[in-house]
Amino acid sequence: MSEIAITVGGVYKSFQGASHPALDGVSLDILKNEFFTLLGPSGCGKTTLLRMIAGFESPDQGSIELDGIAMGRTPPNLRPVNTVFQSYALFPHMTVAQNIAFALDMLGRPRVAIRSRVAEVVHLLRLDGLDERRPAQLSGGQQQRVALGRALAPEPKVLLLDEPLSALDLKLRKEMQVELKRLQAATGITFVFVTHDQEEALGMSDRIAVMRDGQIMQVGRPGDIYERPANLFVAEFVGEANFLPALCVERIDRAGRFQLTCCAAASAILTLDDANGILPGGNAILVVRPERVTLAPPAGALLRGEVPEAIYSGSDLMLHARLTDATPLRVRLSGAADLARFDATGVGFDIEGAALRAFPA
């Protein structure tokens, strides 16, 4: 039996009148029992891809396979998938139990089986005691759980979730993130989750596909995407990053050590995580995560500048620094870092050992 739940093979989709394709050559394998997230800015094609997996759209070119079977023009109701849409539209005149039973009724399941499955789902979603209420008598988070229950009840192999948490306030959203993770682990169903919230994607997913303009920029585990972004777009979209202009003077050795000048700093030898095609004499952009920059005495530091602003958020202190050549640099210090311990007008910064990535400028 295949370990792959969904194969998206070279999919193109252009909507009539659109200036660029909604999906522009997308290929992906999504594994069974995986929490897989499509992450990208508005309009990048996330919903279109999800609708295509569900069978609500068909590709102009390319194919969708579910569990090793090419779907062709198989209609949505005959695919082993279910979808939770952003506007979860519960039936307002039906109770929680009736909403959850709806798909099972449609499938013509026997009454007794429906009753026991509904009870199971109500319990799984922690809706015990609420079965006889109508949606208007529930909180936003409870309504969201009913929508999930309705999609889970017929035991789909794949659950597609299109920004299911975006209507919830921050606290409920955080609770539902944990709940969704728990549900996925408990049911073993493959989840394909859509979000444009990078923090949500990093926290919840087994793997993430970062999309832009109908294309996949990178697929990887959250740690890979954050630590080793494939390009500047991913580095900027996922997590916070500083982008420092640099000039590559020479390559020192095969181990990734480069002689670079950066932001009016004296030439330094830095070890790059990956050279990404940077050549001696070429301009580069260094990607530096704010939490990886360290403060240093100005005299011996690689970079120097000042800190006109620092924002305290309880757990950490974000310095909005300006380097001597006016390049902005954000530095995140954890804990109750004491700003008073350095002179804000002459600060040194080190980025050596900061897991540096660089890309040609």
Choose from ligand ATP, Mg ion, none: what does 22 bind? Cβ within 5-8 Å by kind.
Answer: ligand ATP
Q: How many residues bind ligand ATP (CB under 6 A)?
A: 12
Cβ pair 159, 192 in contact under 8 A = yes
Residue 7 structure tokens: 């194969």
Q: Is 195 in the site for Mg ion (CB under 5 A)?
A: no
The least distance separating Mg ion from the CB of residue 171, rounded to whole angstroms, comes to 24
Residues 109-138 that bind ligand ATP (CB under 6 A): none
Q: Is 212 in the site for ligand ATP (CB under 6 A)?
A: no
Q: Which of 10, 15, 132, 280 binds ligand ATP (CB under 6 A)?
A: 15
Q: Pattern of binders to Mg ion over 25-64, x per CB under 5 A?
A: ----------------------x-----------------
Q: Which of 7, 47, 99, 190 binds ligand ATP (CB under 6 A)?
A: 47
Q: Is 287 in the site for ligand ATP (CB under 6 A)?
A: no
Considering the complex, state which of residue 52 and residue 118 has its C-beta at the smaller distance from Mg ion. Answer: 52
Q: Which of 79, 150, 173, 196 binds ligand ATP (CB under 6 A)?
A: 196
Distance of CA 313 to the CA centre of its chain: 24
Choose from Mg ion, ligand ATP, none: what does 198 bind? Cβ within 5-8 Å by kind.
Answer: none
Walk across the sheet containing 207-212 and list its strands.
Answer: 81-84, 158-162, 190-195, 35-39, 207-212, 215-220
Q: Is 22 in the site for ligand ATP (CB under 6 A)?
A: yes
In Å, how far are 53, 57, 215, 307, 327 from 310, measured between CA atoms? Answer: 46, 49, 37, 7, 16
Considering the complex, state which of residue 163 and residue 293 has its C-beta at the smaller distance from ligand ATP. Answer: 163
Q: Is 46 in the site for ligand ATP (CB under 6 A)?
A: yes
The least distance separating Mg ion from the CB of residue 85, rounded to whole angstroms, comes to 10
The least distance separating ligand ATP from the CB of residue 355, rounded to whole angstroms, comes to 30
Choose from Mg ion, ligand ATP, none: what does 15 bind? Cβ within 5-8 Å by kind.
Answer: ligand ATP
Considering the complex, state which of residue 127 and residue 194 has its C-beta at the smaller distance from Mg ion. Answer: 194
* Residue among 8, 138, 233, 313 nearest 148 (CA): 138
Q: Pattern of binders to ligand ATP over 26-45, x per CB under 6 A?
A: --------------x-xxxx
Describe the crossing of helices 140-152 and 111-124 by its angle, rounded to 10 degrees: 140
Please, what sign has the CA dihedral across residues 183, 208, 56, 143?
A: positive
Considering the complex, state which of residue 47 and residue 218 has its C-beta at the smaller distance from Mg ion. Answer: 47
Considering the complex, state which of residue 165 and residue 303 has its C-beta at the smaller distance from Mg ion. Answer: 165
Q: Is 7 in the site for Mg ion (CB under 5 A)?
A: no
Q: Quote the CA–CA distance of 183 and 297 in Å, as a whole number.
A: 50
Residue 117 structure tokens: 């499955």
Q: Which of 6, 26, 37, 48 binds ligand ATP (CB under 6 A)?
A: 48
Cβ pair 308, 344 in contact under 8 A = yes
The least distance separating ligand ATP from the CB of residue 23, rounded to whole angstroms, comes to 8
Q: Is 327 in the site for Mg ion (CB under 5 A)?
A: no
Contacting residues toward Mg ion, per CB under 5 A: 47
Contacting residues toward ligand ATP, per CB under 6 A: 15, 18, 22, 40, 42-48, 196
